[in-house]
């Protein structure tokens, strides 16, 4: 509490000195990273800065980094070369935050080769950003503000969201799973859950502002409160609701049920659950809660039991398929999306065929595909049987082809059906066309009008294209 008040005074001090200044922010990571950027924007805007898309005219430039795959690093160092010029022209402050800053070799490289960077901060020290910024602007100091231990959950940092219809709400930080390919547990620390009252209050406030959809975020959302429980903490929370009644929350399933009661909210999504923790109470909650979208993101990573074992995913091919089938049986019309990595060390043709087999069986609505990328400090980086880049790419292309065939086949099934579409706004490319999404997260384009924005309307699907559907609504 003391810390946040102290940070408020830094925000006010900055506000008193700066005049008509702008900031630019580049977000390089996942939705959690984006949500952190919304807080960085919140801090900067409270301190009086206005946002610009043009980094050349920004007085403060923030990069919020990711390190889950190698290309994220290439992107950061490329961008740094670009903003160096701006720094030379106008002396702007350059701040770099996010997961990559938790990697010691990266911070070392930055300090040695990019000395023009003013502030280095991590996800655990985001709350200190006002103080760090003040010291960089006024005291002209170079700041390195990184914590190796897990930061506590801090409430009350202002948040500025760009979208006015859909919002992300972080429900927990960190990850305890240590999948062998993944850097996230090393940079984000152990699982810490937010208090359900804070989550509820944030969602209620979003709904009051007119938001229609929230996505509950965490690296492993269905272990919400689990780590606290295992430490012996009391996780039987009593949340005070809008109508004055009380609601008991002690798990992810009960949190879903609570959020489902929020007035004005139309849709609830969540990413990502871990298949190993997908308990029956969560399935029941998804089924019972009308606002919870009937699309589950269920990360597969690989379809081979051996590779899954080597990845430390703690489920086999059969267990994954059994879970997907159980969910399909219990929840009519449920659809799945997934994440898949190709070219994990030791992946044989047979292993890869198993991945294709699961893809053909589950028929995902959407697949986020990744080529395995070695991450320093992870177990898989040290495995000797790394896969040749060429083979990785051939497999990636093969998986992509299969995924697209399935998407096309599934898109055809939408034609003639009436889908509920949450209208998000005008299409970026054609001003007569409006765009929205089905519950299954498919983009639907249609000829519409401004007053439909933010509404969920039934729409008949008239045609399909690879990446979107075309719809028509009854104009009455
Ligand atoms: N916690 C989430 C995902 C976090 S990272 C989950 O468990 O599903 C998002 C995705 O990036 C992962 O699902 C995985 O498919 C991919 N990914 C993570 N590390 C990777 C690596 N080293 N190489 C390639 N893809 C990776
Ligand atoms: Fe990474 Fe696995 Fe944790 Fe997801 S569950 S963040 S893939 S370690
Ligand atoms: Fe997200 Fe990348 Fe960090 S995926 S949690 S921003 S390493």
pTM, 2 dp: 0.95
Q: What is the pLDDT of residues 224-236, one digit of tens each?
A: 999 999 999 999 9
Residue 203 placed within a domain? yes
- Whose alpha carbon is nearest atom 11 of ligand 1? 68
Ligand 1 pocket, residue 272 CB under 6 Å = yes
Residue 327 placed within a domain? yes
Q: Distance, CA 164 to ligand 2 centroid (Å)? A: 30
The CB-side HSE value for 274 (13 A sphere, CA atoms) comes to 21
Ligand 3 pocket, residue 165 CB under 6 Å = no
User: What is the C-alpha to C-alpha distance for residues 9 and 45, in angstroms, rounded to an integer?
Assistant: 15
Is the pLDDT reported for residue 338 higher than 80?
yes
Residues 312, 315, 318, 320, CA torsion sign: negative
12/102 same-domain check: yes
8/115 same-domain check: yes
Q: What is the pLDDT of residues 89-107, one digit of tens each?
A: 999 999 999 999 999 999 9
311/289 same-domain check: no
The CATH number covering residue 199 comes to: 3.30.750.210
Percent of the chain with pLDDT over 90: 89
Is the pLDDT reported for residue 354 higher than 80?
yes
112/48 same-domain check: yes
pLDDT at 447: 93
Q: Distance, CA 75 to ligand 3 centroid (Å)? A: 14
- Whose alpha carbon is nearest atom 5 of ligand 1? 68
90/190 same-domain check: no
Q: How many folded domains does the chain comprise?
A: 4
- Of 191, 299, 368, the one to substitute when testing ligand 1's pocket (max ligand atoms within 8 A of C-beta) is 299
188/208 same-domain check: yes
Nearest ligand 2 atom, CA 219: 6
Residue 107 placed within a domain? yes
Residue 336 placed within a domain? yes
Residue 140 — pLDDT band, cuts 50, 70, 90? Answer: confident
pLDDT at 353: 98
**∠ at Cα 381 (376, 384), nearest 5°?**
150
The CATH number covering residue 431 comes to: 2.40.50.140
454/338 same-domain check: no
Q: What is the pLDDT of residues 21-71, one digit of tens each?
A: 999 999 999 999 999 999 999 999 999 999 999 999 999 999 999 999 998
Q: Among all ligands shown, which has an atom nearest to the Cα of 370?
A: 1
Across residues 452-467, what is the average pLDDT?
A: 94
Give residue ranges with CB within 6 A of ligand 2.
175, 177-179, 182, 184-185, 219-220, 274
Is the pLDDT reported for residue 465 higher than 70?
yes
The CATH number covering residue 10 comes to: 3.40.50.12160
pLDDT at 1: 41
Q: What is the pLDDT of residues 77-92, one digit of tens each?
A: 999 999 999 999 999 9
Percent of the chain with pLDDT over 70: 98
- Domain residues for the domain of 74 are 2-145
423/449 same-domain check: yes
Other C-beta atoms closer than 10 Å to the C-beta of 225 total 24
The last residue of one of the domains, among 99, 116, 145, is 145
Is the pLDDT reported for residue 474 higher than 90?
no
Is residue 299 within 8 Å of residue 275, measured between CB atoms? yes
- Whose alpha carbon is nearest atom 1 of ligand 3? 30
Q: Among all ligands shown, which has an atom nearest to the Cα of 355?
A: 1
The last residue of one of the domains, among 239, 261, 293, is 293
pLDDT at 4: 63
Is the pLDDT reported for residue 335 higher than 50?
yes
Q: Among all ligands shown, which has an atom nearest to the Cα of 272?
A: 1
CA dihedral angle for residue 261, residue 290, residue 255, residue 439, rounded to 10 degrees = -120
User: What is the C-alpha to C-alpha distance for residues 391 and 345, in angstroms, rounded to an integer?
Assistant: 12
Is the pLDDT reported for residue 399 higher than 50?
yes
Contacts of 230 (CB under 8 A, 6+ apart): none
pLDDT at 152: 77
124/184 same-domain check: no
The counts of H helices and E strands in the chain are 14, 21
Is the pLDDT reported for residue 73 higher than 90?
no
User: What is the C-alpha to C-alpha distance for residues 48 and 43, in angstroms, rounded to an integer?
Assistant: 9
Q: What is the pLDDT of residues 249-296, one digit of tens each?
A: 999 999 999 999 999 999 999 999 999 999 999 999 999 999 999 999
DSSP state of 452: G
Q: Distance, CA 184 to ligand 2 centroid (Å)? A: 6
pLDDT at 420: 96
CA–chain centroid gap for 100, Å, is 16
Q: What is the pLDDT of residues 416-439, one digit of tens each?
A: 999 999 999 998 888 889 999 999
Residue 155 placed within a domain? no
Residue 150 placed within a domain? no
Ligand 1 pocket, residue 222 CB under 6 Å = no
Counting every residue, how long is the chain? 476
pLDDT at 222: 94
pLDDT at 430: 81
Is the pLDDT reported for residue 203 higher than 70?
yes
Across residues 169-192, what is the average pLDDT?
A: 95
What does the buried/exposed string (b/e) look like for 68-90 if buried means 16 or more CB atoms within 10 Å of the residue's CB?
bbeebbeebeebbeebeebbeee
The last residue of one of the domains, among 82, 117, 145, is 145
Residue 152 placed within a domain? no
What are the phi and psi torsion angles at 43 (to 5°)?
Answer: -65, -50
340/241 same-domain check: no
Ligand 1 pocket, residue 66 CB under 6 Å = no
407/421 same-domain check: no
Residue 286 placed within a domain? yes
18/51 same-domain check: yes
- Whose alpha carbon is nearest atom 1 of ligand 2? 182
User: What is the C-alpha to C-alpha distance for residues 428 and 463, in angstroms, rounded to an integer?
Assistant: 20
């Amino acid at each position: 509490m003391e810390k946040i008040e102290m940070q408020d005074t830094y925000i006010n001090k900055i506000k008193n000195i700066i005049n008509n200044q702008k900031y630019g922010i580049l977000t390089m990571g996942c939705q959690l990273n984006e949500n952190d950027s919304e807080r960085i924007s919140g801090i900067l805007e409270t301190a009086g800065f206005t946002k610009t898309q043009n980094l050349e005219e920004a007085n403060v430039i923030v990069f919020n980094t990711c390190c889950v795959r190698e290309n994220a690093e290439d992107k950061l160092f490329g961008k740094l070369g670009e903003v160096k010029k701006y720094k030379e022209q106008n002396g702007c402050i350059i701040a770099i935050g996010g997961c990559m800053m938790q990697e010691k070799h990266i911070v070392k490289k930055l300090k040695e080769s990019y000395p023009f960077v003013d502030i280095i901060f991590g996800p655990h020290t985001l709350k200190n950003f006002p103080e760090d910024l003040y010291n960089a602007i006024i005291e002209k100091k170079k700041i390195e503000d990184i914590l190796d231990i897990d930061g506590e959950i801090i409430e009350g940092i202002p948040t500025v969201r760009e979208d006015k219809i859909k919002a992300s709400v972080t429900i927990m930080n960190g990850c305890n799973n240590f999948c062998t390919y993944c850097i996230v547990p090393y940079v984000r620390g152990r699982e810490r859950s937010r208090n359900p009252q804070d989550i509820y209050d944030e969602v209620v406030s979003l709904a009051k502002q007119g938001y229609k959809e929230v996505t509950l975020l965490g690296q492993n959302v269905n272990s919400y409160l689990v780590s606290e429980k295992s430490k012996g903490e009391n996780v039987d929370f009593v949340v005070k609701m809008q109508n004055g009644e009380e609601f008991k929350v002690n798990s992810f399933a009960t949190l879903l049920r609570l959020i489902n009661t929020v007035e004005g909210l139309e849709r609830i999504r969540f990413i990502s659950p871990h298949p190993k923790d997908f308990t029956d109470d969560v399935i029941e909650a998804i089924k019972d809660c009308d606002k919870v979208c009937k699309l589950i993101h269920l990360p597969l990573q690989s379809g081979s039991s051996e590779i899954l074992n080597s990845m430390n995913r703690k489920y086999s091919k059969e267990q994954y398929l059994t879970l997907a089938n159980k969910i399909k049986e219990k929840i009519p019309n449920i659809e799945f999306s997934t994440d898949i990595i190709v070219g994990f060390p030791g992946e044989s043709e047979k292993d890869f065929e198993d991945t294709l087999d699961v893809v053909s069986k589950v028929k995902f609505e959407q697949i986020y595909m990744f080529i395995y990328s070695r991450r320093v400090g992870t177990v898989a980086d040290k495995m000797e049987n790394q896969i040749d880049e060429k083979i990785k790419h051939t497999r990636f292309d093969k998986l992509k082809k299969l995924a697209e065939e399935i998407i096309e086949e599934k898109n055809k099934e939408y034609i003639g059906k009436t889908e509920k579409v949450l209208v998000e706004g005008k299409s970026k490319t054609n001003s007569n066309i409006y765009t929205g999404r089905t519950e299954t997260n498919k983009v639907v384009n249609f000829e519409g009008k401004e007053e439909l924005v933010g509404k969920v309307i039934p729409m008949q699907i008239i045609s399909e294209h690879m990446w979107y559907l075309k719809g028509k609504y009854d104009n009455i």
